[in-house]
Amino acid sequence: MATVEAPVRPRTSLHSGPFVTEAFYDFRIEENARKMRAAITKVRAQLGREYDLIIGGKRVKTTDKIKSLNPAKPSEIVGIHQKAGKEHVEPAMKAALEAFESWSRTTVEEHAGLLFRVGDLMRSRKMEYMAWLVFEVSKNWAEADADISETIDFCEFYAREALRLAKAQTPIQLPGEHDTLHYIPLGVGAVIPPWNFPCAIMAGMTLASIVSGNTVILKPSSDSPTIAAKFAELLEEAGMPEGVVNFCPGAGASFGDAVVAHPKTRYIAFTGSREVGLHINKVAATQGPGQIWIKRTILEMGGKDAIIVDADADIDSAVEGVAQAAFGFQGQKCSACSRAIVDERIYDKFLELLKARVEKIQVGDPAENANMGAVINEGSMKTILGYIEQGRKDGRVITGGERVEGEGYFIQPTVIADVAPKSKLEQEEIFGPVLAVIKARGFDHALEIANDTEFGLTGAVYTSSRDKIDRAVRDFQVGNLYINRKCTGAMVGAHPFGGFNMSGTDSKSGGPDYLYLFTQAKAVGEKIR
């Protein structure tokens, strides 16, 4: 697999000049590989530590615990966490509301300064945070690098965006008036991130919240609470006031639901499954006792992403793009390519080349930087293997299809050919290393198949035709479309990220309109005396 998710661009300066994305490491350079091995050794010595809830700056212990396990070695405990329950909702809300009184009145320069400091601290220990991802969610080195780099980018980008938004002006000034426009914070937000980008998405939603002047109740995934705990510690080190972010890992059905339903919760920022996202949307839509606002929901809910390979495509480039997008981080990305829709004129050749490319993918412990690590947990592994069994009935497994022997939750990268449109394998999000390949009669048919799902997150087209590119831009119904490149690897600032339909509210994280979702506009017209 490729060693980086996007081209490296050197950073010229910090916090001034044009925004530049964080550079990735090239692990073909032995010095970089040596430093990463040292970071892994350092973090391995810290595994198994216990972490407390943080509510209003105070450490809180609970009777029930959450154990975060290493998916590549489930006998290894990454971290032990307190488990927030319904009884912790009111204390967390009280702390967040109290902190909001002062934080919402703090200057935007101070808000942005906090984010800049967080980014600087994370950059100085980048490989150490990468190593936590290797252990907690089984990311290889390049995938961990992309996750932490994106987190640093969010620190930089959202801080700059908050400063820009503070200078917003009304389109016109009426004669005899001084007209101003202010983007003010909403209140207390519930931030509910997923495990697959456990630092970048978790931190991105949290950073956007607090740089806008809001305060947060953060409920990380039970599969990845440790990196969130390390991030909470980093926020404190950077000088975040008590109560601005309250760290509360807990069950979604108890603590999470109670926070979403609380009448003082002003908004919910969520990334995860379609089912949970729709449930949150429904609960949030119900007015609670004393609730005086319509709760805002910022939802990103996955996809069933397709790459179309036209007959006139550069077939070698398409094969590489599909392999990387389908099997990077074990296919556990909402942007992952789970469908390759290939013109019948090159279908057999494409399958031949793809099979050869996929069989080069090394599966193993990401601490040793294998191409593919383990899937997140045992339940996910069993679900994915169930989809593969369905694929044996509905299509033809041309490579993979088995669990890899050993302790971890490893599954072979699996390609299933001859999958029919509208079949279960072609329609449902699998969230694992399984690629369905569908034959298309031509470009129009390929677009029809690509659009015929509930989702609309990412997609890509490989073609040399300008006309077909233009048609894809117009007619391929996804929030993030890529031409002649893979459909994963969205970069902050360049590819504002979010999808259509059941992929969510198209909230466009990493884009120029994202902070609007965490604020409300207040227009002031003052008569000049």
Number of neighbours of residue 20 by Cβ within 10 angstroms = 15
- Bridge partners, residue 434, by sequence: 414
Q: Is the pLDDT assigned to residue 253 strictly greater than 50?
A: yes
Burial label, 289 (beta-carbon count in 10 A; 0-12, 13-18, 19+): exposed
Q: Which residues of 397-409 are buried (b: 16+ CB within 10 A; e: fewer)?
A: bbbbbebeeeebb
CA angle centred on 108, ends 120 and 153, rounded to 5°: 35
Place of tokens 């806008």: 212
Please state, rounded to an integer, the average pLDDT across all residues of the chain.
Answer: 96
Candidate list 155, 199, 248, 334, residue with the active-site label? 334
Question: For 361, phi and psi rounded to 5 degrees?
Answer: -70, 125
In tens, the pLDDT along 412-466 reads 999 999 999 999 999 999 999 999 999 999 999 999 999 999 999 999 999 999 9
357 versus 251: the higher-pLDDT residue is 357
Q: What is the spatial distance between Cα 361 and Cα 358, in angstroms, rounded to a whole number?
A: 5
Are 219 and 249 in contact by the 8 Å Cβ rule? The answer is yes
Instruction: Pick the closest to residue 186 from 520, 466, 527, 521 (CA basis).
Output: 520
pLDDT exceeding 70 applies to what percent of the chain? 97
> What is the average pLDDT across 355-379?
98
Q: Is the pLDDT assigned to residue 182 strictly greater than 70?
A: yes
| Topology (CATH level 3) of domain 305-491 | Aldehyde Dehydrogenase; Chain A, domain 2 (3.40.309)
Active site (annotated) includes residue 487:
no
Are 450 and 459 in contact by the 8 Å Cβ rule? The answer is yes
Q: What is the pTM of this model?
A: 0.96
Q: Is the pLDDT assigned to residue 12 strictly greater than 80?
A: no
Number of neighbours of residue 13 by Cβ within 10 angstroms = 8
In tens, the pLDDT along 50-105 reads 999 999 999 999 999 999 999 999 999 999 999 999 999 999 999 999 999 999 99
Are 266 and 188 in contact by the 8 Å Cβ rule? The answer is yes
In tens, the pLDDT along 479-501 reads 999 999 999 999 999 999 999 99
pLDDT at 16: 78
> What is the average pLDDT across 172-200?
98
Number of neighbours of residue 386 by Cβ within 10 angstroms = 11
pLDDT at 264: 98
CATH architecture entry for 30-301+507-525: 3-Layer(aba) Sandwich (3.40)
Are 45 and 132 in contact by the 8 Å Cβ rule? The answer is no
CA angle centred on 453, ends 447 and 457, rounded to 5°: 85
Are 502 and 274 in contact by the 8 Å Cβ rule? The answer is yes
Q: What is the spatial distance between Cα 432 and Cα 437, in angstroms, rounded to a whole number?
A: 15
Active site (annotated) includes residue 300:
yes
Given pLDDT bands bounded at 50, 70 and 90, which one contains residue 390?
very high
pLDDT at 185: 98
Question: For 347, phi and psi rounded to 5 degrees?
Answer: -60, -50
CA angle centred on 502, ends 499 and 506, rounded to 5°: 25
pLDDT at 14: 64
Q: What is the spatial distance between Cα 218 and Cα 227, in angstroms, rounded to a whole number?
A: 13
> What is the average pLDDT across 134-160?
98
Given pLDDT bands bounded at 50, 70 and 90, which one contains residue 3?
very low
Order of strands, sheet of 396-399, starting from the edge strand that comes earlier in the sequence: 396-399, 414-417, 434-440, 337-343, 305-309, 458-462, 480-483
Candidate list 136, 300, 320, 429, residue with the active-site label? 300
- Tell me whether domains 30-301+507-525 and 305-491 share a fold: no
Structure tokens at 421: 């449109």
> What is the average pLDDT across 106-126?
98
- Amino acid identity at 411: I
Number of neighbours of residue 278 by Cβ within 10 angstroms = 13
pLDDT at 451: 98
> What is the average pLDDT across 134-138?
98
Extents of the domains making up the chain: 30-301+507-525, 305-491
Handedness of CA 475, 476, 480, 485 (dihedral sign): negative
Helix (H, G, I), strand (E, B) or coil at 70: strand
pLDDT at 251: 87
pLDDT at 17: 85
